Chain A
Amino acid sequence: MLLDFEQPIAALEGKLLEMQKLADESDVDVSEAVTALQAKIKALKKETYANLTRWQRVQLSRHPERPQMLDYIGGMVDKFVELHGDRTVGDDKAMVGGLGELDGHTVMFIGQQKGHNTKERQYRNFGMANPEGYRKALRLMKLAEKFNVPIVTLIDTMGAFPGLEAEERGQGEAIARNLKEMFMLKVPVICIIIGEGASGGALGIAIGDRVLMLENTWYSVISPESCSSILWRTWDYKEQAAEALKLTAIDMHKAGLVDGIVKEPLGGAHTAPEQMIETLKNTLLKTLKELGAIAPADRISQRIDKFSAMGVVVE
């Protein structure tokens, strides 16, 4: 799948392939032309990705080939043991969790999985968890705390599921409880927005000592589409809504609402998933080391103080 702003680059890359094929099949020397075209592609890429609009970043965050929770697990974790169920209602397939080894360190991984194709997306409920997903996440976090294992959450959701049963089973209560409980966890908690970070559904697993966003992700109180439909009463203002919400990693970091940005490969995470996974792995290892050096009580105080300072008021 190509996004509109990816098309000019893809067209040039197609041309390059043709040129190289031609060179292979004949004796024509095209090396000069190839070099020129490669330079042109590089320049166009640089220019395109240095000037992405907020809406374009939202599009990248949703790219179907973008690495998801289970891709990261598969790519960076040894001996992953998936753990299921909230012990009350069921097992939420939108929220995945389990223990794994990251370069020899045991880590509890928790995150939403959206799915890459129609079938998987349906199975995963598009990454929109029900209350049992949030309760499963909390159960696993408590388990991690018990065994002194750090927690990594990977956030990628359009929101908590707005369904009838979700309301019956207390979607609001489930998220609220996670927020409160996560502040008191004695183990290090790292939260990474790897795709979409929509509202309470994202925040419900995003209270951490370090909250980081991948470069082309978004995190806000509402999606640009829903914001458009409520404030402009039509779906047509999603680009403007994305601008107004200031929802990108750069915006959120500038506002002091997240702690840092993880760089993506030029062209976005989906263009070089392995490189992305490697980058995130290194970031996690470095961050775990930093957090491990802080005493648990101090970590909790710092976590609370950090979120308590968020907001702009006029006295």
Chain B
Amino acid sequence: MSWFKRVEKGIVTPTDQKKETPDGLWHKCQECKSVVTMAEHKRLLYVCGPCGHHDRIDAADYFDFLFDGGRFTELDAELTSGDPLRFVDTKEYPKRLVATERNTGLKDAVRTAHGLSAGQPLVVAAMDFKFIGGSMGSVVGEKIARAIDYARQTRTPFLMISRSGGARMMEAGYSLMQMAKTSAKLALLSEAGVPYVSLLTDPTTGGVTASFAMLGDFNIAEPGALIGFAGPRVIKETIGKDLPKGFQSAEFVLEHGFLDFIVDRRELKQRLADLLGMLQPVSAANPEPREARRTPSKAH
């Protein structure tokens, strides 16, 4: 629910825009104010060398460094939102969508792809926060659902990179049911014995936390990421006092037992390869009978 405020405040500076700013040759860390060249910042995967601050990055950036040689096949790239409710608040929803598409060059708040990562096949779904706060509408739910289906049918491990304020209000009931849909698909993936890694990045809140983001066989997070169900503002209003420092940070969530580990973005690819390399999708000889019928025999 916090996405509106954050977008308004301009905390999010899409990487494309960063590169285009007049002083775009240099990057100043918003946390420790260290200055490096933009080229160096990109080489460090938008993580500050001195303080380790992780900038918010786009799906495209993850695809670029996770897939070997930046080569991948995108799935369902052309899927866009309908406006089933003819939703109007201060603006008509379709107009909001068109404006957002124009500003971001994105079709919606998630991109899905498959390719090789450290030589192993991987399906990745990564969210784009700059598209209406990474909010989950029908397109987000459907693309994730199809990516999970693809992972299940090809018996390829699935990586979900969440970065979302939660529900997309303009799709109301439809938005809510995307939580159910993605969870249904993950139940099938789980039953088929295909590994699922959920990476939670800054921020992951609301309906995304309460569905696919928390359902990994492995739940992992980037350092310092805000992770929670209710947004901090809502909780503050509920309890009527300030929240403790570090509340709802990735470190806090790890400490309370809901994450397997926190991983620096620069080590993500290797850690994933190490982890998934030790696992193989459970042998097709031993799945649930119902799934055996649906699962193609192709194995990796």
B26 within 8 A of A: no
A173 to B207, CA, bound (A): 10
- Whether the Cβ atoms of B173 and A167 lie closer than 8 Å is no
- Whether the Cβ atoms of A164 and B243 lie closer than 8 Å is yes
- Whether the Cβ atoms of B89 and A307 lie closer than 8 Å is no
- B17-55 interface (Cβ within 8 A of A): none
Specify which of B80, B168, B190, B258 lies most central, judged by the most chain A CB atoms within 10 Å of its CB.
B258
Q: How large is the interface on B (under 10, 10 to 19, 20 to 34, 35 or more residues)?
A: 35 or more
| Shortest CB distance A270–B (Å) | 25
CB closest residue in chain B, given A307: B180
A222 to B85, CA, bound (A): 15
B174 within 8 A of A: yes
Contact with A along B119-151 (1 / 0, CB 8 A): 000000000000000000111011001000000
| Shortest CB distance A142–B (Å) | 14
- Whether the Cβ atoms of A175 and B210 lie closer than 8 Å is yes
- Whether the Cβ atoms of A230 and B247 lie closer than 8 Å is no
A203 to B175, CA, bound (A): 12
A142 to B82, CA, bound (A): 38
- Whether the Cβ atoms of B290 and A176 lie closer than 8 Å is no
Among candidates B191, B207, B243, residue contacting A221 with C-beta atoms closer than 8 Å: B207
- Whether the Cβ atoms of A180 and B238 lie closer than 8 Å is no
- With a cutoff of 8 Å between Cβ atoms, the chain B residues found around residue A207 in the complex are 180, 183
Q: How many residues of A contact B (CB 8 A)?
A: 58
- Whether the Cβ atoms of B238 and A163 lie closer than 8 Å is yes
Specify which of B174, B212, B247 lies most central, judged by the most chain A CB atoms within 10 Å of its CB.
B174
B279 within 8 A of A: no
- Whether the Cβ atoms of A173 and B178 lie closer than 8 Å is no
Contact with B along A231-254 (1 / 0, CB 8 A): 110000000110011110001100
B106 within 8 A of A: no
* Contacts between chains A and B (CB distance < 8 A), count: 195
A179 within 8 A of B: yes
- Whether the Cβ atoms of A255 and B256 lie closer than 8 Å is no
| A180-B190, A313-B142 known; A172 vs B213 contact (CB < 8 Å) | yes
Among candidates A200, A246, A304, residue contacting B85 with C-beta atoms closer than 8 Å: A246
B275 within 8 A of A: no
| Shortest CB distance A179–B (Å) | 4
Contact with B along A166-183 (1 / 0, CB 8 A): 111111110111011101
Contact with A along B162-204 (1 / 0, CB 8 A): 0000011101111111111101111110110000000000000
- Whether the Cβ atoms of A176 and B213 lie closer than 8 Å is yes
- With a cutoff of 8 Å between Cβ atoms, the chain A residues found around residue B88 in the complex are 244
Among candidates A170, A221, A245, A313, residue contacting B214 with C-beta atoms closer than 8 Å: A170
| A168-B256, A170-B214 known; A311 vs B141 contact (CB < 8 Å) | yes
| Shortest CB distance A153–B (Å) | 14
| Shortest CB distance B292–A (Å) | 12
A20 within 8 A of B: no
- Whether the Cβ atoms of A220 and B145 lie closer than 8 Å is no
- With a cutoff of 8 Å between Cβ atoms, the chain B residues found around residue A301 in the complex are 290
| Shortest CB distance B143–A (Å) | 8
- A196-221 interface (Cβ within 8 A of B): 199-200, 203-204, 207, 219-221
- Whether the Cβ atoms of B214 and A173 lie closer than 8 Å is yes
| Shortest CB distance B265–A (Å) | 22
- With a cutoff of 8 Å between Cβ atoms, the chain B residues found around residue A231 in the complex are 4, 89-90, 169
Among candidates A166, A171, A175, A244, residue contacting B87 with C-beta atoms closer than 8 Å: A244
Among candidates B79, B171, B188, B258, residue contacting A315 with C-beta atoms closer than 8 Å: B79
- With a cutoff of 8 Å between Cβ atoms, the chain A residues found around residue B15 in the complex are none
- Whether the Cβ atoms of A163 and B89 lie closer than 8 Å is no
- With a cutoff of 8 Å between Cβ atoms, the chain A residues found around residue B214 in the complex are 170, 172-173, 176-177
CB closest residue in chain B, given A229: B1
- Whether the Cβ atoms of B188 and A304 lie closer than 8 Å is yes
- Whether the Cβ atoms of A180 and B186 lie closer than 8 Å is yes
A171 to B185, CA, bound (A): 21
- Whether the Cβ atoms of B229 and A166 lie closer than 8 Å is yes
- Whether the Cβ atoms of B229 and A313 lie closer than 8 Å is no
| Shortest CB distance A201–B (Å) | 9
- Whether the Cβ atoms of A220 and B176 lie closer than 8 Å is yes
- Whether the Cβ atoms of B82 and A219 lie closer than 8 Å is no
A-B contact pairs, 9 of them (CB 8 A): A166-B230, A244-B88, A246-B172, A251-B173, A308-B145, A311-B141, A312-B84, A313-B79, A314-B79
Besides A173-B214, A176-B212, A220-B176, 8 new A-B residue pairs in contact (Cβ under 8 A), listed by A number = A167-B235, A170-B256, A176-B209, A200-B207, A227-B169, A304-B188, A307-B177, A311-B177
- 9 tightest Cβ-Cβ pairs between the two chains A and B: A162-B230, A311-B138, A172-B209, A179-B183, A172-B229, A312-B82, A231-B89, A310-B177, A171-B229
Using a CB–CB cutoff of 8 Å, the interface residues on chain B facing chain A are 1, 4, 78-82, 84-85, 87-90, 137-139, 141-142, 145, 167-169, 171-181, 183-188, 190-191, 206-207, 209-215, 228-230, 234-235, 238-239, 243, 247-248, 256-258, 290
Using a CB–CB cutoff of 8 Å, the interface residues on chain A facing chain B are 160-164, 166-173, 175-177, 179-181, 183-184, 199-200, 203-204, 207, 219-222, 226-227, 230-232, 240-241, 244-247, 251-252, 255, 257, 297, 300-301, 303-304, 307-308, 310-315
